[in-house]
Amino acid sequence: MKRTLPLFLTFVVGMFPIFAFFVPHRAVSNLNQQLDTWLVIVAAFALPLGVVNLVGSNIDKIKRKQRGWPYSVVLIAGLCIMAFYGIVGGEQGFHPYFQYMFVNMVSPLQATMFSLLAFYVASAAYRAFRARNIEATVLLAAAIIVMMGRIPFGDMLTGGKMTPISEWIMTKPNAAAQRGIIIGAALGAASMQIRVILGIERTYLGKGQE
């Protein structure tokens, strides 16, 4: 039973969205939406597990005075304060202090991390575009053409030829390669899903294959 029930549930829950994709009847679509709602509920139940783990590991860090333990104090304090004002603020979380902290602390921190991406792109591009062999040289040439095609300076230098060449690279060889990967990935995903639905693949249950 411990083995069969999860597999049976996986089969039913996995097959139903496929069934709903082809059957538009209201009864089916309503049940399908209900499944999505259940997924949110299950995820909500799993969240406390994560929070308990996070708080536990950080309290442990503080107790042992491990390296960087003051950051754990900040983390737990932030978690408690945000959670408190989130709950006090009601369903939408519109307590003014919650809003203040979200707008003035959380959002700038998120934006800071995101903006770091620009520097990482520059360092990754430097490494990728070194002309070490023929393939890397082709990549470098294509990148230069595409970049020049995206700015007016490229067209100014070449009398308007750069944009069409850049567009050709993006819409022909680049799109063709991407579609090849997409078709392969979609088939791989479909095959994996069938394995999971039919109970052939069970590693996600921690029980190994059939």
Partner 1 sequence: MRFWHVMLLIGLSWLCFTLTPIGWVHAIDIEGLVAQDTPSDGGQSIDLRWTSSSLNRVIILRSTSRDSGFTVIGEAIASDGAYTDFSVVEGKQYFYRLGWLSGEDTVYTSIAGPAVAKSNWFRKHRLNALVTTVLMFVLVVTFVNKAKQGKPLYIRRISGLSAIDEAVGRATEMGKKILYIPGILSLSEIQTIASLSILKHIAKLTAIYGTDIEVPNKDPLVFSAARETVREAYLEAGKPDQYREEMVSYLTYDQFAYAASVTAKMVRERPATNFFIGSFFAESLILAETGQGVGAIQIAGTADIPQLPFFVTACDYTLLGEELFAASAYLSREPVLLGSIKAQDVMKAIIMVVIGTGIVTYAFGSEFIRNLLLSR
Given the rule CB under 8 A, which residues bind partner 1? 18, 21-29, 39, 42-43, 46-47, 49-51, 53-54, 57, 67-68, 106, 109-110, 113-114, 116-117, 120-121, 123-125, 127-128, 178, 181-185, 187-196, 198, 200-201, 203-210
For the chain, the residue count is: 210
Q: DSSP for 38-70, please give it.
A: HHHHHHHHHHHHHHHHHHHHHHHHHHTT-TTHH
Burial class for 136, CB neighbours closer than 10 Å (0-12, 13-18, 19+): middle
Q: Return d(Cα 58, Cα 106) in angstroms, integer.
A: 20
Smallest separation (angstroms) from partner 1 to the CB of 151: 20
CA distances from 165 to 43, 152, 155, 162 (A): 48, 14, 10, 5
Give 81 or 156: the residue with its C-beta nearer to partner 1. 81
Smallest separation (angstroms) from partner 1 to the CB of 166: 17
Give 11 or 158: the residue with its C-beta nearer to partner 1. 11
Nearest to 79 by CA among 112, 57, 108: 57
Give 125 or 151: the residue with its C-beta nearer to partner 1. 125
Give 138 or 183: the residue with its C-beta nearer to partner 1. 183
Smallest separation (angstroms) from partner 1 to the CB of 148: 19
Give 6 or 89: the residue with its C-beta nearer to partner 1. 6
Give 162 or 196: the residue with its C-beta nearer to partner 1. 196
Strand, helix or coil for residue 22:
helix
Smallest separation (angstroms) from partner 1 to the CB of 47: 5
Q: Return d(Cα 206, Cα 194) in angstroms, integer.
A: 18
Smallest separation (angstroms) from partner 1 to the CB of 205: 8
Smallest separation (angstroms) from partner 1 to the CB of 78: 10
Tokens of 48: 């406390």
